[in-house]
Structure 1
Amino acid sequence: MLLLKKLEIEGFGPFADKQVLLFPAKPGVLVVYGENMRGKTTLLNAIRYAFFGKVLGRGRRERLVHSLSNRERASAGKFGFNVALEFDFDGQAFELYRGHEARVPSPINDGDYRSEILLRRGGQVVSQQEQDRLLAQIFPEDISRFFLFDGELLQEYEELIINESEVGPQISSAIERILGVPILKAGRRHLLELADEADRQAATEASRHQETQSLGNALQAAITLRKAQQDELVRLKDNLADLTRQKGESDAKLAADRRAADLMNRRQDALNRAAAAATRQVDLRLDIKRVMSDAWRTVLHEPIRKAREQAQINLQSQIEALKVELRRAAVERSHCDICEQDVAPALRSRLLATLGDAGAARPADQASIRLGAVGGFRDLDVSGEVRQLVRQIQDMAVVVQHEREEAKDLLSSLADTDQASVRSTQATYVEVIEQIAIVKQGIEKQAAQLEQQETRVDGLRRKLQNTARADLMAVEARAKLLRDSAAVFDDAVEAYKTDLRKRVEASAAELFLAMTTEKTDYAGLRINNDYGLTIIHTDGRPEDARSAGAEHVVALALMGALQQNAPLRGPIVMDSPFGRLDDGHTSNVVSGLHKMADQVVLLVYEAEVGRQRARELLGSRLVAEYELERVNSRRTNIREIR
């Protein structure tokens, strides 16, 4: 069991001077009160830094060493920091010191720092070769999420109930590690490796005898190929696990940078709209230029209309005059030259009466020619179209101005954002997704090939067994015994895992019912194969409409259940875990903190849990209280509350 005893921190974050936090040996809850920006998360990260040499920021991104130095000390030219942690593990006392010291007077990046680490066990210094192995045994980093966590990390556990989630299996694998399952799986792998070695011995022995030589050589080759395929499958699965981890990190980064990414996308959209409007302006100006090539016709439109009307009148007048002239000629000659008929006296008298005093007709050719000239002229009024195009250009100018102002405002909001990092994360995310798909296809293909090869090895093994050679039979019997033992061991592991899940389910359900405010509505929790927990209503049905607060309580219940059932037990350090909980759930959780682990460190600001409220809820289980006292914006002191 891991038990924290003392934390010393200097030059780290807001802790400029050396500060000390003592952890009572008595089981219970230690509460540290601190307002925002005072250093609660820094305390959690100080413990993480001591064990693993790294610090996590928002989105679980590893922070740069250079950014960790106290800013007040840095402004005075003093860079670097250190953390000292005293703890007990399995009854032995340890002292762990880790720090970073500046190599140059004014460091500007991580390369300007030198790291230092020292581990003592029982007062004796542990060699550098041994300390990494020993620290990994005391507190494996891949299970640290179950001991050091905040509200952001708790949200990851929602993935456990999503079957399609890639993060869920990753978390469930970490859960199995804290529960000790990998040790059992390693035993099964060892048995299978011994069986494979026995098969190779049988193949080698068979290849020495003439009657079984070809069969032995074939089995040797098949086993060698199978081993290569097994190794490749392991490599692909490791690659997939690494890519899945990268995807999880990218997911967290994208979630943390979602606002920045949204602002960047909105700014780019505004710039794109401004560019499109500017391009439209150019097109509209080209349209005006095209239309204006006929603008001179607009000036002549009215004169040509009047000239055309007058030419039509003149032509009609001359046609009428021509008709009179033809009648006059018919009267004078008593003969019509048009129809070549003589005009009767009665008709002549009627025609004469229509002549009146009309003068001589003028030729109609001149009027016809003029009408043809003005009638063939293409007159065009483009003033309306020009006005419409001008209005559209003005509208586009307004759009360009508006979108550029919008982009400018959004850029101001992004002043503190590393846009290149956000874009890089987005690009990396897309690339990782593509690689995951490729690796998954490779795993499926490799698994199919390995299955075929297993069938081939089994067939060759049976043929070799049928040779009935005594020297081979003994080796084959050993190999069969080992394979059968591995199968039994595998069944035992699955039975153990099933029993373990039931115990985790029972522990989590007990904690959940103690923490929830809906005690009469819920019967407990139901666990799935990935250790995801579903709330069960008293009517026996799963509660599908789970609120964010309910998810939070379930996650906390799971953390406590793992502590109660894991071989490796240690302190729980939680940073502001109540952000999604109402007052009722907060009170219930605080009251039940002592059930989650023997040593619980709660980092909160007083608006979450007031001092008096914590004292009333925890009673004698409240073993110590500290507050983070503000000296100035860059300096915080740790003060014990007596």
Structure 2
Amino acid sequence: MLRFLSLTIENFGPFKGSQTIDFTDKNGISIVWGNNGRGKTTLLNVFRYALFGKVQSRRGIIKGLTSISNIESRSEGNYGFKVVLRMTNNGKNYELTRQYKLRPGVVKPVNDDDFEQAVYLKQDGSFLSGEERDHVLNTIMPEQVSRFFLFDGELLQEYEELLLDETDAGTKIKESIEKILGVPVLTNGAIDVESVLDEYKASKNRAAQNDNKTKQTASQIAVLEEKLKKHRSEYERLRDILSEEMNNRNILADKLSQTERIRGLLADEKALETSIEKNKEARNSLIASICAITKDAWKSLISARVSIVLSELDEITKGLEDKEKSQHTAEHFLEEMRRAVAKKHCQLCDQDISDEMLERMKDFIKRSESEFGGLTPEEITNLQVLRARKATLKNMLYPSLREKLEVYEEQLSRVNVEISRDERQLKTVREDIERYGDIEGLSELAQQHAHCLAKIENLEAGKRDEYTIILETQSSLATLEGQLNRHATGTTMLAAKRRVEICEQIHNIFEIGIDAYRNKLKSDVERDATELFLKISNDPDYVKLEINENYGLSIIHRTGEKPPFRSAGFEHIVALALIGALHKNAPLRGPIIMDSPFGRLDPIHKENITKVLPSMSDQIVLLAYTHEIDEQTARINLGNALNKEYRLSRQTSFFTRVE
């Protein structure tokens, strides 16, 4: 089994300088924790680059390598990068070094042509030749099956394609699955037998052309075989072009997604700049308001004392004003009584007043005139003075500024927080924009993408037409072959016919064997995937997984029904169950490197998957972002199976340290 011992990274992506990760030689799991943007996906690409010399985006597109080197190192004049992967396989120790370095004579690179790639492989301390190196690397980790060892959790959704019929993605995944399970060992044998069968058929046809009875049929067969060869060649040509165009489509789609991302970043940059400018204007306005009201703040300090004095003056003034008011009331009453005495008639009760009552009223009026004399001249003067003082003091009253200042200060604090937050976000956005470098010319991508899609559609139509012709030609050939066999005579012809029949029987044995082997593999994968799925799933009504011809897995309900729609989370679980089952049944065993595999899952499923991880492979390297799974719970669930933990620590925007 292949096992990774350590990985040394030098100036690759955000990993500045030389940094080493030790995975140990024990079975178990190593976890690398890191926030988004700190380099987890880059680590996955480090393994891919070390093994295959390629770097991929999330869409699986191979990128140019010049941009991979660390930005800070480039600015310091250190160009290129290096990766050293130490590993063991079947008792042998290997040290693989892959370096992307400047060509001799180049001081400052401009493009990929200014670099060269050096690859060295040591086996038990001795360097291997280039041919030996390539053979060993292809043996211990064939690139065609690497998707099952190095995978991004976000790409697990691709396995949904296995449930669909006749999709390009599903067909490619099926081919990869059969490669990791060892099916090509048989299919290659069948291809070899088929090649020999074609030679025997050609030999038989040449013999038939020497016989007058079969000459015409043999000539027709020769024409059809030439036609079949031509259309098979055309079919393969279209298939190869289609593969290139689909790769080109993915490249364009990746660039388009970058364009959308850049446009989004530019829009975010503009929005943040506008928000910062608006909040700075608000901040200046608040500061001006605070300065304006604090200019008269001294008035509020004496306002409290003025209020006390006014209260005292109010009491004194009220006494004099009450006395003045009483005088006015008494004067009005006495005036009414005087009119009643003069007229000897009371207007209130509308009755005449007797003489006796008149005398009593006159006496009351006389006494009252002396009793309600009103304010003295001194009191009148004093009242006027008091009223003047009160008016002056009221003008000196000033409302308290405390509440208004508190409101302004609260608003100012909030605005400052928003400005600080927006400035931090703006810095991050600008750093993201800078990573994209030159983005000119991307506006034409949509047109190129549309043209590519149209070309793919035409190629697929051409493939279908060629395939139809191939089937029709094969049918016609089968008819003619039957006629030829019925009329075969002569020793040479019969011997050639016998060789063809024996070869056809051998080919048929291979076909039967391939079908039997496939069926056994599917049964074993279905069984093991079901076992994993039931350990992970928390739904007791789901009882098993059922496999189809493409190795796609459907969930089976206890009623026997297949849920028509699966959630993203369950799609994720099924894909992980398939990965685990493939590793259990594959003749090629190796470590699994998983990047953020828990993104779609709830805490219960995350915990269940964590528990079964050790059963998926002897060595797993888990690249997880912080809080993707609970760290303490993961440690408890993994127990002794947890070998190492590392954390990706941000030093700068372009520098991550492995700690």
Q: TM-score with structure 2 length normalisation?
A: 0.69
1:259 Cα offset (Å)? 4.9
Residue of structure 1 equivalent to 2:61:
61
Which residue of structure 2 aligns with residue 180 of structure 1? 182
Q: Is the 8 A contact 1:200 1:223 kept in 2?
A: no
Aligned to 1:89: 89
1:526-582: CA deviation from partner (whole Å, max 9, x where unpaired): 222222222222222112332221111111111111111122221110112222112
Partner SS for 1:18: strand
For residue 604 of structure 2, the aligned residue among 574, 578, 584 is: 584
CA 164–211 in structure 1, closer or farther in 2 if over 3 Å, else same: closer
Distance 1:634 1:262, change over 3 A: closer
Q: Which of 416, 435, 438 is the equivalent residue of 2:458?
A: 438
C-alpha contact 1:59 1:255 (8 A) present in aligned 2: no
Aligned partners of 2:493, 2:266: CA distance in 1, in Å?
71
The corresponding residue for 1:622 is 642
Shift, 1:621, TM fit? 1.0
Asked if 1:151 corresponds to 2:153, the answer is yes
Counterpart among 471, 494, 513 of residue 473 in structure 1: 494
591-600 or 627-636, which deviates more: 627-636
Distance 1:154 1:423 in 2: 31
Q: SS of the counterpart of 2:162?
A: helix
Match of 2:578 in 1: 558
1:127 equivalent to 2:129? Answer yes
Work out the CA distance in 1 between the residues paired with 2:431 and 2:15: 30
**Structure 2 letter corresponding to 1:28:** G
Gaps of 5+ in 2: 269-428
How many pairs does the alignment contain? Answer: 494
**Match of residue 17 from structure 1:** 17
Is residue 167–residue 248 contact of structure 1 (8 Å, CA) maintained in 2?
no
Pairs within 5 Å for 1:191-202: 191-202=193-204
Q: Which moved more, 1:117-126 or 1:422-431?
A: 422-431
What is the CA–CA distance in structure 2 between the aligned matches of 1:413 and 1:28, rounded to whole Å?
Answer: 37
Distance of 2:449 and 2:19 partners within structure 1: 40
Cα deviation digits, residues 484-525 of structure 1 (max 9, x gap): 33233223212322221222122112111212232x131122
Per-residue deviation, 1:186: 1.8
- 1:17 aligned counterpart, secondary structure: strand
- State whether structure 2 residue 487 is matched by structure 1 residue 487: no
Find the counterpart in structure 2 of residue 607 from structure 1: 627
The C-alpha deviation readout for 1:159-195, integer Å capped at 9, x for no partner, is 3224474422222222222222233222222222111
- The answer to whether the 8 Å contact 1:6/1:87 transfers is yes
Asked if 1 retains the 8 angstrom alpha-carbon contact of 2:208 and 2:488, the reply is: no
Deviations 1:171-222 (A, max 9, x none): 2222222222233222222222111100111122334456655554444444
Shift of 1:253: 5.5
CA contact (8 A) 1:571 1:599 kept: yes
Q: Secondary structure at the match of 1:60?
A: coil
Decide whether the 8 Å contact of 1:14 with 1:636 is kept in 2.
yes
User: Matches of 1:251 and 1:238 in 2, distance apart?
Assistant: 20
> 2:10·2:82 contact (CA, 8 Å) conserved in 1?
yes
How far apart, CA to CA, are the structure 1 residues paired with 2:74 and 2:586?
43
Structure 1 counterpart of 2:549: 529
| CA drift at 1:263 | 9.2
CA contact (8 A) 1:261 1:422 kept: no
Residue 191 of structure 2 is matched in structure 1 by 189
Per the alignment, residue 101 of structure 1 pairs with 101
In 2 relative to 1, CA 526–212 (structure 1 residues): closer, same or farther, beyond 3 Å? closer
Please state how far the C-alpha of 1:80 moved relative to its aligned partner: 1.4
* Change beyond 3 A, Cα 1:477–1:460: same
Q: Tell me which residue corresponds to 1:3.
A: 3
Deviates more, 1:10-19 or 1:165-174: 165-174
- Is 1:637 aligned to residue 657 of structure 2? yes
Letter of the 2:459 partner, please give it.
V
Q: Look up the match of 1:342.
A: none
Name the CA distance, whole Å, in 1 between partners of 2:154 and 2:526.
23
Residue 614 to residue 48, structure 1, CA distance change in 2 (3 Å): same
**Does 420-429 or 112-121 show the bigger shift?**
420-429
* Cα distance in 1 for residues equivalent to 2:444 and 2:609: 40
Check whether the contact 2:61–2:250 (CA below 8 A) recurs between aligned residues.
no
Letter in 2 for 1:65: L
Distance 1:424 1:550 in 2: 39
Structure 1 residue aligned with 2:538, among 517, 530, 534? 517
* Contact kept? 2:265, 2:433, Cα under 8 Å: no
Displacement of 1:247 in angstroms is 4.3
The answer to whether the 8 Å contact 1:166/1:244 transfers is no
AA matched with 2:92: Q
Provide closer, same or farther for how the CA distance between residues 621 and 257 of structure 1 changes in structure 2, counting only shifts above 3 A.
Answer: farther
Conserved 8 A contact 2:58-2:155: no
Preserved CA contact (<8 Å) 1:60 1:253: no
Distance 1:618 1:497, change over 3 A: same
Q: Render the CA deviation track for 1:3-24: whole Å, top value 9, x for unaligned.
A: 1122111111222222111222
**Counterpart-to-counterpart distance in 1, 2:54 and 2:235:** 32
Q: Residue 15 of structure 2 aligns to a residue in which SS?
A: coil
User: How is 1:308-347 mapped onto 2 (pairs within 5 angstroms)?
Assistant: none
For 1:551 and 1:541, locate their aligned partners in 2 and report how far apart those are by CA, in whole Å. Answer: 17
Tell me, yes or no, if the aligned pair for 2:603 and 2:629 is still in contact at 8 Å: no
Residues 34, 265 of structure 1: CA spacing in aligned structure 2 closer, same or farther, 3 A cutoff? Answer: closer
CA distance in 1, matches of 2:454, 2:78: 46
Aligned to 2:339: none
How much has 1:51 moved relative to structure 2? Answer: 0.9
CA deviation profile, 1:147-169 (whole Å, cap 9, x unmatched): 11122212222232244744222
- Give the CA deviation at 1:459: 4.0
Question: Over the residues paired in the alignment, what is the CA RMSD in angstroms?
Answer: 3.0
Tell me the CA shift for residue 610 of structure 1.
4.1
Asked whether the equivalents of residues 194 and 479 of structure 1 are also in contact (C-alpha less than 8 Å), the reply is: no
Report the Cα distance in structure 2 between the residues aligned to 1:201 and 1:265, rounded to whole angstroms: 71
Partner of 1:44: 44
| TM-score normalized with structure 1 length | 0.71
Selected match of 2:470 from 450, 463, 487: 450
Distance of 1:257 and 1:504 partners within structure 2: 41
Matched with 1:405 is none
CA–CA separation in structure 2 for the residues paired with 1:606 and 1:415: 24
Select which of 139, 142, 150 maps to 1:140. Answer: 142
Partner of 1:543 in structure 2?
A: 563
Paired AA for residue 115 in structure 1: Q
CA shift for structure 1 position 255? 5.5
State the 1:256 CA deviation: 6.2
Residues 162 and 457 of structure 1: CA distance in aligned 2, closer, same or farther (over 3 Å): closer
| Residues 1:574 and 2:574 are matched in the alignment | no
1:600 offset after TM fit, Å?
0.4
Instruction: Please give the alpha-carbon distance, in whole angstroms, between the structure 1 residues aligned to 2:637 and 2:586.
Output: 27
Alpha-carbon shift at residue 453 of structure 1 (Å): 2.7
Separation of aligned partners in 1, 2:112 and 2:562: 50
CA distance in 1, matches of 2:74, 2:645: 30
CA contact (8 A) 1:48 1:54 kept: yes
Match for residue 505 of structure 1?
526
Q: Which secondary structure state, in structure 1, belongs to the residue aligned with residue 205 of structure 2?
A: helix
The aligned runs of 1:372-411 (5 Å cut-off) are none
537-546 or 143-152: bigger deviation = 537-546
> Is the contact made by 2:56 and 2:62 (CA closer than 8 Å) also made in structure 1?
yes
Q: Tell me the CA shift for residue 602 of structure 1.
A: 0.6
Q: CA deviation at 1:442?
A: 2.2
Matched letter for residue 645 of structure 2: E
Any gaps of 5 or more consecutive residues in structure 1? 267-410
1:255/1:547 CA distance change after superposition, 3 Å: farther
Q: Deviations over 1:427-480 (max 9, x none)?
A: 343233322332233223223322333244334434443132122111111112
Percent of aligned pairs sharing the same letter: 38
In the TM superposition, what are the counterparts of 1:214-229 in structure 2 within 5 Å? 215-229=217-231
